[in-house]
Structure 1
Amino acid sequence: MIPSSLRARFTIIAACAITVALVLAGFMLTLIFDGNIRARAVAEVGDDLRTLAANARIGPDGRLVIDGDLSDPRFRTPYGGYYWQAGRDQQIDLKSRSLLDFTIDWRPQPPTGNDVAIYERPAPEGRRMFVLERRVVVSRGGTPTIARIVVGLDQGELDEARTAFIQFAASSLAALGFALVAALWFATSASLAPLRALRAALMEVHLGRKTSVEGRFPDEVKPLVDDLNALLQARNADLVTARARAGDLAHGLKTPLAVLTSTARQLREAGQAEAAADIEGEVQRMSRHVTRELVRARAGVRAFRRSHPTPIAPVAATLTRALSALPSPRPIAFETRIPAEAAAPMDETDLTEVMGNVVDNARKWARGKVLITATEAAGAIHIAVEDDGPGLPGDALSYEIERGRRLDEQVEGSGFGLAIVKDLVEAYGGDLTLTRSPLGGLKVDIVLP
């Protein structure tokens, strides 16, 4: 699964690239080390070979003799890893004490001239050795004799050095890889800082604290910021135009509605009450529809502009005072449980309209108590209005939400109704649900992100 984070993507890709590069680097370093250590071993063994060749002679008994001995003690240690052997043709005349009863297999033909042959041969204890062989011309009494001298080095010496180097190189390259990935992580974080600043600036616009994206951005991001600001300005202009057109439409309908209302009154005075009632009903329906569309248009503009959050407690206090003063067949106690710092991300006028409709409906249904609460959870404001009235059946609750049925169809004089309230809430990206209250009546839950 591809991560959604740019920093994570870049880090994963960079880590893979660094891993491949370090593996290749380790492989190349190992090859270089192998070549270097082999060259040093050849040089060291070659010195021993030249020393042996320089001291070779034919003794009085006609046998090959090498005066002196090599200084490295491993030539004298049984199976010590360093070996030499000398002879003529396929015959072995001398060998190092390190070989004991082991012999090095001669090549079929000795090297020519002063060339040095390098090849591999079996070593004691089932190991392998690489061997340097040289032809030496020795004489006795003026008669030249061809001698062969070989010096061998146990391959295990090189393998141990190679293994130690690989372990050291692997740990060093792994530490380097982790350091590079960590450095790239911090470098990526620093490189993405302008995007985080852009996100914060957009949030300021979303919350209504700014009208455009402000800040200093690098040249690579600035065109995007300019395009966003142009888009915000164009969207704002379109919303303002739409709101103006809705207002013009409402004003344009006022005169025809007023004429229809006057006609209905004249018909009623003329004794045609039934026709007058039909006209008045249609006029009221059209008025409600126009009012609803105006509210939705106004809320859409305000929601887009995202004004400063409105404190909920003062709005609730004003509403409860006003509604307490209205005549009621029974006393209603309003209880509010709203923290002083609770604020809704909604224009004050729209919040008053939403809460006013819901609280007024609760007042009309309540037997004696209306409870208003506000809490903040999971980054959203939850406003709940409950009453202790008869409530609504479960199927009616579902119908209210699914079909947008207005509460004013069941209770006379309930304002814009649930459809208007829901339109306002949804214009701000919120949600409205109806459930049964623990008080026994209806509970209206409003969630605003």
Structure 2
Amino acid sequence: MAVAVALLISWFTLVLLFDSHIRRNTEDDLIRHGRAIVSALTFSPAGFSADTYQPSDLRFDRPASGLYWQVSRGDNIIRSRSLWDNALDVPVGVDGTDWHRGTAAGPFGQDLVRVARTIQENESAEPVTLIVAADRASLIDARQEFARELAIFLTLLWATLSLAAWFQVTIGLLPLRAVQSSISELKSSPASRLSPGRFATEVTPLVDQINELADAREADLRAARDRAANLAHGLKTPLSALRAVARRVREAGQGDMADGLEQSILAASDAVDRELARARTAASLDRGPTAPAAVIERLVSVLSRTDRGERVAFEMDCPPGITLPVSADQLMEMAGPLLENAARYAASVVRVTARPRDLVIEDDGPGLGTANRERVILRGQRADERPGGHGLGLAIANDLAEATDGRLDLGTSDLGGLKARLVW
């Protein structure tokens, strides 16, 4: 846009300069004709004449040709044949010091550019006025032709400059596009870094700064995760002590007080478990990809030896070629609570299905009502307030899915129970 505006201003300026130039040249030509007329001008007691003048331009002899001259003093006028019996208006303020340039209305409906001056035989004689004029139509035609050709040229120039700028920007941004692609890889695998040798020299300082920023961010995140994990571990012992206190309170016959205390302890314990799981998952900067088959088989092997797992059948549909964009540790932290939750509530079957970018775990248990699905994945909420009840495993899995740029969707399974779907 800026180039187009600049070229438009240039076009307007050049047209004005050209118009001024050809008008000045025309006036200079008229002055040369006028000087020739002055040299041929003779004075006598009867008046004045220019009989010896031989015009160098034949248009002076052709009526209405557009080129005229006239010498006048009062009603005494001599003129070129091109004027025929017309006369030019004598301009006001003309003297003999210099040629006066200007425009005027002429005969035959023409607009004229003219030069004029006075000539005086002697100081006592009355001066005569010499006017030489030309039709402006030829100047206007020349200006319009120049403006048209210049517009075509500048349009082609604008197209050429725009194309050149597009190529320059496109080629110039190629190194930055390579950096952009690598940054996307860095996002999917935070442990990786940009290799300066892969990029043009011009963007190497930028690559170095990005790597330093990634290092600083990783260090800050690790420190924050370590503090969260240390705090969560530090709360484990006080919570165990509080459980013992709640048990003694119940044994002392104060059941209501023990129930309230145990609910508070359960909420705090849930929060600690969630933060520990988040810290363990976030500590793994690798984002895979991971084949889920081995991870699911390992989890099922462990669960099948528990009291809850022994009574259900695990069905797995995890093709070997399927991968998920998380690390094995992260997948284990997410799928583990979901499998444990499914085994706890299943009547007889838990099904695991892996597809590209999603993992589905479902059971044939009582399921979870629509009203409770969003509530159970909120921080600290349970559909079943009993220890080990519905909610904590789902909330942990949801937190970890969000931490790995995924999400947890809850629905109703074809088996009749809860369907938990991890999507990336």
Task: Tell me the distance in 2 between the aligned counterparts of 1:422 and 1:325.
Answer: 26
Query: Does residue 1:154 correspond to 2:154, yes or no?
Result: no
Query: Does residue 1:117 correspond to 2:100, yes or no?
Result: yes
Task: Tell me the distance in 1 between the aligned counterparts of 2:86 and 2:419.
Answer: 101
* CA deviation after TM superposition for structure 1 residue 63, in Å: 6.6
* CA deviation after TM superposition for structure 1 residue 426, in Å: 2.2
Task: Tell me the distance in 2 between the aligned counterparts of 1:149 and 1:255.
Answer: 119
Task: Tell me the distance in 1 between the aligned counterparts of 2:315 and 2:236.
Answer: 39
Provide Cα deviations, 1:41-93, integer angstroms capped at 9, x if missing partner. Answer: 12222232233333444799967243465353443444332222234444223
Query: Does residue 1:354 correspond to 2:322, yes or no?
Result: no
Aligned to 2:22: 37
Aligned to 1:393: 369
Aligned to 1:10: none
Q: Which runs of 5+ in 1 are unaligned?
A: 1-14, 376-380
Contact 1:406 1:417 in 2 (8 A): no
* CA deviation after TM superposition for structure 1 residue 244, in Å: 4.5
Provide Cα deviations, 1:99-142, integer angstroms capped at 9, x if missing partner. Answer: 344321123576326x3232322123444212123445689xxx
Letter in 2 for 1:48: H
From the superposition, tell whether residues 342 and 67 of structure 1 become closer, same or farther in structure 2 (CA, over 3 Å): farther
Aligned to 1:167: 148
Q: Please show how residues 223-302 of structure 1 align to structure 2 within 5 Å.
A: 228-245=210-227, 248=230, 285=266, 289-302=271-284
**Residues matched between the structures, number:** 414
From the superposition, tell whether residues 299 and 209 of structure 1 become closer, same or farther in structure 2 (CA, over 3 Å): closer
Query: Does residue 1:95 correspond to 2:80, yes or no?
Result: yes
SS at match of 1:443: strand
* CA deviation after TM superposition for structure 1 residue 195, in Å: 4.5
Query: Does residue 1:128 correspond to 2:108, yes or no?
Result: no
SS at match of 1:343: coil
Query: Does residue 1:47 correspond to 2:23, yes or no?
Result: no
Q: Please show how residues 7-26 of structure 1 align to structure 2 within 5 Å.
A: 15-16=1-2, 18-26=3-11
SS at match of 2:283: helix
Aligned to 2:397: 421
1:180 to 156, 161, 182: 161
Aligned to 1:308: 288
Task: Tell me the distance in 1 between the aligned counterparts of 2:289 and 2:12.
Answer: 63
Letter in 2 for 1:297: A
SS at match of 1:417: helix
Structure 1 length as normaliser, TM-score?
A: 0.72
Provide Cα deviations, 1:307-336, integer angstroms capped at 9, x if missing partner. Answer: 432233443455567767876556564445
Aligned to 2:408: 432
Letter in 2 for 1:149: L
The farther-off stretch of 77-86 and 282-291 is: 282-291
Task: Tell me the distance in 1 between the aligned counterparts of 2:70 and 2:176.
Answer: 74
From the superposition, tell whether residues 220 and 170 of structure 1 become closer, same or farther in structure 2 (CA, over 3 Å): same
Task: Tell me the distance in 1 between the aligned counterparts of 2:180 and 2:303.
Answer: 43
Structure 2 length as normaliser, TM-score?
A: 0.76
SS at match of 2:408: strand
Contact 1:357 1:415 in 2 (8 A): no
From the superposition, tell whether residues 250 and 43 of structure 1 become closer, same or farther in structure 2 (CA, over 3 Å): closer
Letter in 1 for 2:112: M
Contact 2:383 2:389 in 1 (8 A): no
From the superposition, tell whether residues 127 and 347 of structure 1 become closer, same or farther in structure 2 (CA, over 3 Å): same
Instruction: Kindly report the root-mean-square deviation, in angstroms, between the aligned alpha carbons of the 2 structures.
Output: 4.6
1:205 to 179, 182, 186: 186
The farther-off stretch of 103-112 and 189-198 is: 189-198
The farther-off stretch of 306-315 and 238-247 is: 238-247
Task: Tell me the distance in 2 between the aligned counterparts of 1:274 and 1:226.
Answer: 67
Task: Tell me the distance in 2 between the aligned counterparts of 1:292 and 1:193.
Answer: 44
SS at match of 1:310: coil
Task: Tell me the distance in 2 between the aligned counterparts of 1:290 and 1:110.
Answer: 105
Task: Tell me the distance in 2 between the aligned counterparts of 1:307 and 1:335.
Answer: 22
* CA deviation after TM superposition for structure 1 residue 394, in Å: 1.8
